[in-house]
Amino acid sequence: MPVLFAPAASDFHAQHSPFGAFASFTVGRHGQTGGFGLELGAPAKQDVYVALVRGNDSDDRNTVRALPFYTGAQNGGAEAYTGAATTKNAPVLWNAYAPDEIKREMGFATDSWTTNGGLTFRLLTPFGAVPDPLTKSDDALRAALCPAILAEVTLDNTAHEGDAWAFFGVADADPLRPLSDVPGANLCGMARETCWGFATFAADDVQESQDWNLQEKVAGASVTVPQTVQRLANRGGLLLHVPPGESKTFTVALGFYRGGVVTSGVSASYLYSRLFTGLEDVLAYALKNADATKRIATERDAELDAAPLNESRRFLLAHATHSYHASTMLLHDETGDLVLSPRESCHRPLWVVNEGEYRMMNTFDLTVDQAFWELKYHPWTLRNTLDLFCARYRYYDEAQDATDPSRPRFLGGISFTHDMGVANAFSPHGYSSYERPNLDDCFSYMTAEQLLNWCLTAALYGITTGDRYWLGLRHDILVACLHSLLHRDGPDGMRNGIISLDSSRCENGQEITTYDSLDASLGQSRSNAYIAVKTWATYLALGRCFHLLGHDEAAALSEEQAALAAQAIASHFDAKEGYLPAVFEGDNPGNASRIVPAIEGLAFPYLLGDRDAVSETGPFGELISLLKTHLATVLQKGVCIDTESGGVKMSSTSTNTWMSKIFLSQFVAESVLGVRLADSVDDAHAKWQTQGAARNFAFTDQVTSDDGTDLGSRYYPRGVTAVLWLRPR
Amino acid sequence: MPVLFAPAASDFHAQHSPFGAFASFTVGRHGQTGGFGLELGAPAKQDVYVALVRGNDSDDRNTVRALPFYTGAQNGGAEAYTGAATTKNAPVLWNAYAPDEIKREMGFATDSWTTNGGLTFRLLTPFGAVPDPLTKSDDALRAALCPAILAEVTLDNTAHEGDAWAFFGVADADPLRPLSDVPGANLCGMARETCWGFATFAADDVQESQDWNLQEKVAGASVTVPQTVQRLANRGGLLLHVPPGESKTFTVALGFYRGGVVTSGVSASYLYSRLFTGLEDVLAYALKNADATKRIATERDAELDAAPLNESRRFLLAHATHSYHASTMLLHDETGDLVLSPRESCHRPLWVVNEGEYRMMNTFDLTVDQAFWELKYHPWTLRNTLDLFCARYRYYDEAQDATDPSRPRFLGGISFTHDMGVANAFSPHGYSSYERPNLDDCFSYMTAEQLLNWCLTAALYGITTGDRYWLGLRHDILVACLHSLLHRDGPDGMRNGIISLDSSRCENGQEITTYDSLDASLGQSRSNAYIAVKTWATYLALGRCFHLLGHDEAAALSEEQAALAAQAIASHFDAKEGYLPAVFEGDNPGNASRIVPAIEGLAFPYLLGDRDAVSETGPFGELISLLKTHLATVLQKGVCIDTESGGVKMSSTSTNTWMSKIFLSQFVAESVLGVRLADSVDDAHAKWQTQGAARNFAFTDQVTSDDGTDLGSRYYPRGVTAVLWLRPR
C-alpha cells in the first residue's frame, strides 16, 4: 500500500507534474495556496477547492465539506469561509475537513486524500522509461510527453438518500475561461488563458461553475438550477453530480501548455509544443488515454510498495520523485545552433533540469546526483546534458596557487561550468550564471568539482548503458579531462592524486565545493576530503573508460593517479580520533569537522561495477577500511547524528544539511560499506519534510537538522538520489 | 511647453507604451512599484531606479540621489534605503529626491522628470498615423509596430570636478539577464527572460550592473572597478558615466516581446512577432531608429502645446493617450478562421483594445468612444473591430416586455455583444464575457446600446473616411440594424422612436446601459433619456449611410424614426424644472435624476457633418433647445457640478462619475451647444488623476466626484475621448 500518513504528518505540499513540462500542480498544505504553476520556483498562489456537497435532510441548505487547500481553511473543520465580501445572501459555510478526518496516502506515482464523508481525491503522476526522442516518431512520443496529469474524484453516495456533488476548482488572480466554449472539443472545465487548465469530457453529470462567489454557488448546487458561468470571474471548477445510492469516480485531466520560444541564449521551445497544438489538445489526449496512464501509475505504486524499504524511505523517494519531475524541461532547439552530435542533427531535443527555487538550468552538482535516476528511466537525457556541456559549457583555464594567486600560474585545462543559465536564460558560451571571480565562498568557481562531475557522469552514462559509440565520440574530451585533472593535482613531480591548485578563473578568490553554504569543512575545494575521495573515484572511472576505448596508456595513467590519491587520503587519516579530517590542511578551521560526504565518492566505482575497488580486501582496502572507520565515528549522536531530531547532519560542525546528499551517503553506507542506519533516522528525515517548515515548499533539500526548517533548495529536484535505495543488494 | 506639474501634483503613475503591444512601462508614483508589464491590468511590481551618483569631495563615498520610484522612497529625500539586509558593508544611503526637487512635465508623447541636481529622465512614447497593415510591406510596418519606447537619461556634469554616473535599472521578483551576453547584438542592458528589457548600444561609458545589493554596488561606482554582473540576481541596470565638465544624454530602449499564440477562442499572435525575431531584435531596431522616433515625439508634443487648451486639458489628454496605447493589442490571426472581408484574406490583422484593469476585449462601449481617436490616427482599426463584431459577435434575439417577460414575445433582430472576451480568451460566437441572463443590473445584457454602438461606429468610420466600398459590403447589416431598432421601439403602430422593449436574452432580467454601476438614472436601457437621444442620433446616422448607398426607402424610414424620437424625447421635458428626466417612466426612481449624458448623442450628427440636425434653428431645433436648457440646469453646483471638488458628475444623484464620458460631454456642450465650462472644472478633473487615489493606477476612468477616489476602470484606455477637444471649432 502507498504510505499512509498520521494526521499530523499529512499537512505538506507536494508537486504533481508531467514529464519535461517544468510545470506543477502543487497541493497538500492546509490553509495555504498552491495549484497550477508553470516555470515557477515556488508554489502558485491559487486556492484549490476539492469539496463534497450534500443535500441536508434537516435543512434546505446543502452541507459543504472541503479538503483544506484554500486560504482560511488552516483551522480545519472549525473554520468557516464565506466567499467574497460582496455576496448579497447570508454567508454560506464551507467547512474544511480537520486533519483527523482525512487519510492522506502517497505512492510512487499517486497522492490521495480520503475523507470520512465519502469523498476521495487522488492525483496520478505516472512516469516510467521515456524514449529517446531521436528514436521515435512524434506520434509515438505523445504518450510520454503529454504535459498533463490526472485527478480522480470519487464520491460514494451509496449510503445516502439525497443528491450529492463533488467539486474540483481553483481561484486564481485573473479570469478563467470555461472550456465548454471550445467548439468541437467536447470538454468541460476551466483554463487560465492558454497556459493551464483542467477538464473532463462533457457529460450529463458534469457542469462548469464560474463565479466570484464560487463557494456560495457551489453550496447552492441543485439538480434543477444550473450553475453560473460568469466568464469574467477568477474562480471556477467542475461540479460533479452523484445521485442517491450511487458511487462514481470522475477523471479530470490537469494540463499545462506554453507555446513559442521560451528561452534566451539558445532559442528553444517545449518539445511537447511540436506534438500538441495547444492546451485543449493536451487535455483531450490525456482524457482519451486515461486508462493506460492509470495503469502505469498503478504499476509504479506497486513497484515502490514491493521494495524492501521502511515507510519513511518509501515516502521520501515518492516525495522526491514528485518534485524531480516538476523541475524537468524537455525543449526543442528551434534555431539549429545546438547540433550536439551527429545523431542529433535533425531533431535537437534539449534537456534541462531546473534547480527548484533557484531556476538554474542543468546545475552540474545536480546532474551528477540525478544521474542515478536518469540512468534508470531516461539515460539519453544524461547524454544530452553531457553533450551540451561539451558544446557550450566547457572552458579552459590555467591553474594557480590559491594561497598566493600572484605566483606564476601552472598549466590548467578543460573544465565545465556550474550551470547553463538561470530562469530560462541560457548563459553565454563557457560561463555559468552562478560563478564569479574574486570570491572565496558562495558564487565562486567550482572548476575542479565540475570537472569530476563531467567525468563521473560520462562514465556512468557510457559504461552502464554500454553506449561505446558515444564514449568514442567523447574520447578527446575524456583525455582532456584526465590531463586537466593532472594539472590541478600540481606541477609534474609534485603530484599525489589530490587536487591542490585552483582555477585561474578565481582570480583573487578560491574554488569552492557544491556544499557552498555549509561551513569551512566543505568550503574550499583543494585538499578537501570529500573532493579527494571523489577525485580518486574519477580516476578509476576514467581508467574504466580508457580501457573500453583501448587507450591503455591513459588507463594506466588514470589508475596510477587513483593509487596515489588513495595513498594520500589514507595518510591524512587521524587514527587517534578515528576520522578523516574534512580539510587536509593543519591550520584550516574545517580540519576538526567530521563530514559524512567523505564517503560519497565510493558510490561511483560501486555503481560502475568495480566492486573490488570498494572492497576492504581489494587494491584500495586500506582506504575503504579507514572510510568505514570514519563512517562509524561520524554516525554518532552529537557528531553527524543530530541530538534533537536523530537525523543526519553533513558535518559535525553545522546543522545545515542536504537531504539528497544524505540519501546518497545512506546508499554508500549500506550498499558499499555494509553499515545500516536505524529506521528512526529515516523517520527523522521524513518528519523534516512533512512537519518542518520545509513542508511549505514540497521537496526541500537544504534544511536544519534539528527541526527541518527550510534553509534553501526549496521545491527541489535532487531528492531522487533516493532511487539508489531501490537497487538490489 | 509640456504640462509642468506643481510638486504636489507630480506624484502619479502614468503608462508608457508602444502601439499594439498591450504593454506598459508604468512609473511616476512615489514610493510604489511599477515598471515593465505585459498584458497586465495594473502596474507591475518592480522597483524602478533612476539615480545620479556623484563622487563626493569631502568623503570617499559617492552621493546617490534618485527619483522616488522604488519602495521605501515615499518620504522623499528624508528616507534612507540600505538595499538587501544581507549586505556585509555599512548601509549605503540612496536619498530619494523630494517632490520639490523634481520638475515633472508631461507632453502628448513624453513624460519627464528634471531634478535640481543635473539629472533628467525623459520617456518618449511617440505615436501617429498607423498604416493599415494590409496596405504595407512587413518591412514598412516595423517602424510603426516596434514594441519599444525610448528613455533619455541626461546628466549635466559641467559644473562639477568629479566623475558622475546616471543609473537606470529595475528590481523584479526573478533573475534578470545581461544583454551583453547576446553574441553580436552589441547591446548593453538587462532583460527579464524573453519578455521585456532595456538596452543601449555597448559603449565605453556604459556598463551593466547586476546584483542583489544593487543599490550598494551603484553607490560604489568607480572609474577603475567594474560593476558586478551576478546573473542570478533580480536587480540590474545600466551605469552611465559622465566625466567632469561634460553633459551627456543616453538613449535607452525599453522593449517588450511575447511570441507564439497568445489568445484562445481565436488563436492569434502579436503582429509584431511576424516583424521582429525577439526582444533583442526589437531593442536594436528601436535604438537604430531613435532619432526618427524622437522627432515624432517632438512633433506630437508641439501639436498639443499649440492646441488652444488650458493646462489641465492638455494634461488630461496626454495622460489618457498614454493609457490608451497601453491597452492596445494588434494581433495576427494565425489559424485563418477569421477572414473578415475580402480585403483581409491574406494577412488577417486582429485589433483589440483591452479594457484596462478588466482586460475585456473590444468592449463596444469603449470602441464607440475611442472611435474619435482611432478615426484620427488609424481608422482601419475601427473597420477591423466592426467586421469582427459582424463575423463573430453578432446575434439575433426576440424582443420582450421587460415589465412582464412572460407576455408573448415580439420580433427582435440583430445586435452585438458587449465585448469579445476577457483576459486573452475570445468568447464564443455570439457571446460576450460580460453579459448573463436574469439580472437587472451589472452583467445583464446591453443589446439595445450595442446595436446603437455598431450603427454609430459604422457611420463614423464609413462616412468620415469615405470608405463607401466598406459601407456597401455592410449594407445588409445596416438594413438589419434598422429593422432591429424598429422592432425594439415597439410593435408596429405603437412606435415613437424610443426603445421600449428588452432583449429576450435577458430572460427574467432587464437590459442595462454602459453606466452599469451608476444608479437608477442610467440603469435601465428602455425609456432612458441617454439611450433615447443616442437612438435619435443613430437613426440620423443610418439615414446618412442609406443615402450614400442610394437606398432611399431605408433612409426615409430612418429619418421618420428620428423625427418620432425627437418628438417623443421633447414630450418628456420637465419645463417647470427645466430638465429632461433620466428615465421616461413616472414612477421610476431614476426619474428625478439630472444626467449629463442626455446630451452625449448630439456628438454624432455633429461629427458626421450634419450641423443642421444639432442647430436650434434646424429641423430638430426644439429638441436642441430643450437639451441646451437641460444642460444649463444640470451644470450647476450641487446638481452635476460637485460642490466639493467642482468637477462634473454624470448624475445629480450619484458621486460615481466617468472621466471619459465627461470629456465627451464637454465637447458636446462646447462645440455643439456653445456652452463653455469654467477652467476650474478641468482643474478639478486633473486633480482627481494626479492627487486622488486614482493616481495609483495611471488613467482611471471611474472615480468619485468629490476627491477622485478610484472606483473602477483603472489603468483604462477610454480617456482619449478628450481628443475631441483638438477639433477645430
Smallest Cα distance from B417 to chain A, Å: 14
Three-state secondary-structure class, residue A212: coil
Smallest Cα distance from A717 to chain B, Å: 19
Q: What distances in angstroms separate CA A645 from CA A36, A685, A703, A705, one per listed residue?
A: 34, 9, 12, 7
* B259–A261 CB contact, under 8 Å: yes
Task: Please report the pLDDT score of residue A556 as a whole number.
Answer: 98
Backbone angles phi, psi at A11, to 5 degrees: -100, 70
Displacement of CA B484 from its chain's centroid (Å): 31
* A231–B427 CB contact, under 8 Å: yes
Task: Please report the pLDDT score of residue A441 as a whole number.
Answer: 87
Cβ neighbours for A472, distance < 8 A, ≥ 6 positions apart: A549
Which candidate from B177, B423, B428 shows the least CB-CB separation from A425? B177
- Report which of A709, A700, A711 is spatially closest to residue A42, judged by C-alpha positions: A700
Per residue in A76-122, pLDDT (tens digit) is 333 333 333 333 444 557 899 999 999 999 999 999 999 998 999 99
Backbone angles phi, psi at B175, to 5 degrees: -60, 145
C-alpha cell of residue B649: 458628475
Q: pLDDT tier at A74 (50, 70, 90 boundaries)?
A: low
Task: Please report the pLDDT score of residue A333 as a whole number.
Answer: 83
**Which residue numbers in chain B have pLDDT < 70?**
56-60, 74-92, 335-347, 517
Task: Please report the pLDDT score of residue A57 as a whole number.
Answer: 59
C-alpha cell of residue A248: 462514481
Three-state secondary-structure class, residue B184: coil
Which candidate from B175, B228, B425 shows the least CB-CB separation from A193? B425
Give the integer Cα–Cα distance in Å for B632 and B628: 6
Mean per-residue pLDDT, A9-19 = 97
* B264–A424 CB contact, under 8 Å: no
Taking CA–CA distances from A444, the nearest residue in chain B reads: B230
Q: Which residues make beta-bridge pairs with B208? A: B238
* A443–B230 CB contact, under 8 Å: yes
Ramachandran bin of B362, using left for φ above 0, alpha for ψ from -120 to 50, beta for the remaining angles: left
* A260–B260 CB contact, under 8 Å: yes
Task: Please report the pLDDT score of residue A79 as a whole number.
Answer: 33
Displacement of CA A372 from its chain's centroid (Å): 12
Which candidate from A232, A424, A427 shows the least CB-CB separation from B231? A427
Cβ atoms within 10 Å, residue B52: 26
Smallest Cα distance from B433 to chain A, Å: 5
Task: Please report the pLDDT score of residue A50 as a whole number.
Answer: 98
HEC string for A622-684: HHHHHHHHHHHHHCCECCCECCCCCCECCECCCCEEEHHHHHHHHHHHHHHCCCCCCHHHHHH
Q: Which fold has domain A3-78+92-281?
A: Beta-galactosidase; Chain A, domain 5 (2.70.98)
Which candidate from B231, B260, B267 shows the least CB-CB separation from A422? B231
Give the integer Cα–Cα distance in Å for A305 and A378: 22
Q: Which amino acid, one-letter code, is at A706?
A: D
* B174–A421 CB contact, under 8 Å: no
Give the integer Cα–Cα distance in Å for B474 and B414: 13
Beta strands in A384-541, from DSSP E residues, in sequence order: 394-400, 410-416, 421-422, 425-426, 502-503
Contact B104, B113 (CB under 8 A): yes
Which candidate from B175, B278, B359 shows the least CB-CB separation from A422? B175
Give the integer Cα–Cα distance in Å for A278 and B591: 52
Q: Which chain B residues touch A269 with a CB distance below 8 Å?
A: 260
Taking CA–CA distances from A180, the nearest residue in chain B reads: B428
Handedness of CA A708, A711, A715, A721 (dihedral sign): negative
pTM score, two decimals?
0.93
Q: Angle formed by the axes of helices A679-691 and A659-667, to 10°?
A: 160
Give the integer Cα–Cα distance in Å for A520 and A651: 10
Give the integer Cα–Cα distance in Å for A451 and B675: 82
Smallest Cα distance from B221 to chain A, Å: 18
b/e per residue, B527-536, with b = 16+ CB within 10 A? bbbbbbbbbb
Alpha-helix residue ranges (DSSP H) falling in A307-377: 311-327, 364-377
The domain limits of chain B are: 3-78+92-281, 354-726
Residue A483: exposure state from Cβ atoms within 10 A (0-12, 13-18, ≥19): middle
Q: Which chain A residues touch B261 with a CB distance below 8 Å?
A: 194, 259-260, 278
Percent of chain A residues past pLDDT 90, beyond the cut: 86
Mean per-residue pLDDT, A145-163 = 96
Contact B414, B394 (CB under 8 A): yes
* A263–B194 CB contact, under 8 Å: yes
Q: Which chain B residues touch A232 with a CB distance below 8 Å?
A: 358, 360, 422, 433-434, 443
- Report which of B701, A728, A474 is spatially closest to residue A482, judged by C-alpha positions: A474
* B261–A259 CB contact, under 8 Å: yes
* A182–B228 CB contact, under 8 Å: no
Number of A–B residue contacts, CB under 8 Å: 120
Handedness of CA B159, B160, B163, B169 (dihedral sign): negative
Give the integer Cα–Cα distance in Å for A201 and B561: 50
For residue A710, is pLDDT > 70?
yes
Smallest Cα distance from B63 to chain A, Å: 26
Length of chain B equals 729
Contact A160, A244 (CB under 8 A): yes
Residue A213: exposure state from Cβ atoms within 10 A (0-12, 13-18, ≥19): buried
* A264–B422 CB contact, under 8 Å: no
* A193–B423 CB contact, under 8 Å: yes
Contact A455, A416 (CB under 8 A): no
Give the integer Cα–Cα distance in Å for B271 and B254: 18
Q: Which helix (H) or strand (E) holds B440?
A: none
Q: Which chain B residues touch A278 with a CB distance below 8 Å?
A: 261, 264, 267
For residue A502, is pLDDT > 60?
yes
* A267–B261 CB contact, under 8 Å: no
Task: Please report the pLDDT score of residue B340 as a whole number.
Answer: 56
Task: Say which residue, A61 or B245, is predicted with more confidence.
Answer: B245
Contact B339, B697 (CB under 8 A): no
Give the integer Cα–Cα distance in Å for A225 and B437: 13
Task: Please report the pLDDT score of residue B11 as a whole number.
Answer: 95
Q: pLDDT tier at A588 (50, 70, 90 boundaries)?
A: confident
C-alpha cell of residue A199: 477538464
Q: Name the class of domain A354-726.
A: mainly alpha
Instruction: Using CA atoms of A473, A477, A479, A480 in order, give the dihedral in degrees to the nearest 10.
Output: 160
* Residue from B86, B177, B193, B434 whose CB has the most chain A CBs within 10 Å, to mutate: B177
* B278–A264 CB contact, under 8 Å: yes
For residue A307, is pLDDT > 50?
yes
Instruction: Using CA atoms of B693, B696, B702, B706 in order, give the dihedral in degrees to the nearest 10.
Output: 20
Smallest Cα distance from A665 to chain B, Å: 29
